[in-house]
Structure 1
């Protein structure tokens, strides 16, 4: 007898993944070649199956709930794997180069994936296989060609290309009405377990005391902390480059002027210094360098 938990339909999961990634029912419908009504029905079916709301409307915009953000973050690597497996079969008869890249989930969702479409348009002969993890890169044990890692870029045996500035700023939904003069007293601070020191570093630079009068919520990744901030659950400490779209759209605001630049400590693209580089890796690295050097990338 199979006692495993039942799974929701693949169609409902596909509808949710596309809607959550694009934050638009109409865009998801266009991508899936179905009607918006069909997408909405599938999402409602999934919410009914799970017993939780995955989306909510905030000032007319579609937003993920905390449960929705967590579910999407866990599903995206599986969908990436499905797409890669499908692409590998479809392109089996063509000469293509496979490039295996590992990246932290927050950086993948908030910076890399939105830009990968341009890479694929420019380099149709390179198939990027993207996996996510925050664990330190280990090229001796992992079957990867390159990876993105948070740190100072000085790793024995690795070459590294700095990607984005690491400017820390507190961010919150406009509805929370966080005031600079409050010095964050009485606010709920949203932390990422992957970047546990960010709040303490910013508070020290700002001259604010860390004390027991502030409530705290901790999340596995910055991706979840940012989503919680968007939904109004508290104030997150964010890497500015990774929330720029929400700042520009007004979904998030930065109540304080202080931006703590952590200098060399940020995200880097890294690869083995002594291993012979494939043409695909060189192409991908050059593309990343062009993004970094292009004004307005961040």
Structure 2
């Protein structure tokens, strides 16, 4: 497409503001511009594209069909530009940015408290970290690496197994006598905190213990394991949490193991990366560091 047909950022911002507010006056106030500047940008954009983007109805601007099509693409385009600018500002001093997708609870409870150790060895590498519960589509998302369960491995990706998932039962110390643990049947009588995206975990626990799961007392539901961690520490009930996430709280004594038994789910936490990351030295360094940290844990 000829450059003459490509709108400027200012024209798109004026167009989106007019579509949102319906008048050039309100659009101008929103963008901190004059009404005449908004009108000029709108007229210039319509001339550039050769279409009417608005119908003028009773002093209101109503999107034409062409305008509706443009708005659908223009809003996310402007959002992407703003995000790109913010990223450039945030990471302008770093020679390398590692874009990482991580399961929320592992990110909050395990990874982030340890990242200073990695940064001490690689000070020129900065992080752009996003929480993800679902598999990462590396073809559509610009992540360099992800920490997920192994079942989230997309086709063509490299996978390094880190640790098998073992669930432990945790509770506030107020639930237990010192050094004691709860009998499986005692557990059924306490509020059992639920993980909403993995609702069968307690069922699996009781079935493995050959107890009727229909007799258990269901407690509050939470999206993330770290929320269950906090809820258990606050005395809201008993949590069934991956040991990797619960370990620090158990070591600090804010939570105690409420049962000597564990649930091995058969899943594995893994470092997953796309083919394009194989030659990325930051990914190589992060992988080696992470394997070492998992070994120490």
TM-score (norm 1): 0.64
Give how far 1:182 is off.
3.5
2:135 touches 2:154 (CA, 8 Å); kept in 1?
no
- 1:183-205 Cα offsets, whole Å, 9 max, x none, are 42321110112322221222222
Show the counterpart of 2:290. 288
Secondary structure of the structure 1 residue equivalent to 2:261 = coil
- 1:83-111 Cα offsets, whole Å, 9 max, x none, are 9766513x16xxx1111111121010111
Show the counterpart of 1:115. 114
Specify whether residues 150 and 221 from structure 1 end up closer, same or farther in structure 2 by C-alpha distance, changes over 3 A only.
Answer: same
Root mean square deviation, CA, Å: 2.7
Secondary structure of the structure 2 residue equivalent to 1:121 = helix
Specify whether residues 165 and 105 from structure 1 end up closer, same or farther in structure 2 by C-alpha distance, changes over 3 A only.
Answer: same
**How many pairs does the alignment contain?**
212
Show the counterpart of 2:242. 239
Give how far 1:247 is off.
1.3
Is residue 216 from structure 1 mapped to residue 214 from structure 2 by the alignment? no
Give how far 1:212 is off.
4.4
Show the counterpart of 1:229. 232
* Higher helix proportion: 2
1:153 touches 1:162 (CA, 8 Å); kept in 2?
no
2:188 touches 2:215 (CA, 8 Å); kept in 1?
no
Secondary structure of the structure 1 residue equivalent to 2:188 = coil
Is residue 175 from structure 1 mapped to residue 174 from structure 2 by the alignment? yes
- 1:233-276 Cα offsets, whole Å, 9 max, x none, are 0011011121112212221111211112234x132110114665
Give how far 1:291 is off.
2.0
Show the counterpart of 2:98. 99
2:153 touches 2:272 (CA, 8 Å); kept in 1?
no
Which runs of structure 2 are paired with 1:8-19 in the superposition (5 Å)?
Answer: none
Show the counterpart of 2:141. 142
Which runs of structure 2 are paired with 1:258-277 in the superposition (5 Å)?
Answer: 258-263=261-266, 265-273=267-275, 276-277=278-279
Show the counterpart of 1:193. 196
1:153 touches 1:160 (CA, 8 Å); kept in 2?
no
Specify whether residues 99 and 213 from structure 1 end up closer, same or farther in structure 2 by C-alpha distance, changes over 3 A only.
Answer: closer
Is residue 202 from structure 1 mapped to residue 211 from structure 2 by the alignment? no
Show the counterpart of 1:163. 162
Q: Which range is displaced more, 129-138 or 206-215?
A: 206-215
CA distance in 1, matches of 2:89, 2:290: 25
Structure showing greater radius of gyration is 2
Show the counterpart of 1:124. 123
1:171 touches 1:252 (CA, 8 Å); kept in 2?
yes
CA distance in 1, matches of 2:216, 2:287: 46
CA distance in 1, matches of 2:100, 2:285: 13
CA distance in 2, matches of 1:245, 1:292: 13
1:194 touches 1:222 (CA, 8 Å); kept in 2?
no
CA distance in 1, matches of 2:88, 2:239: 36
CA distance in 2, matches of 1:173, 1:84: 40
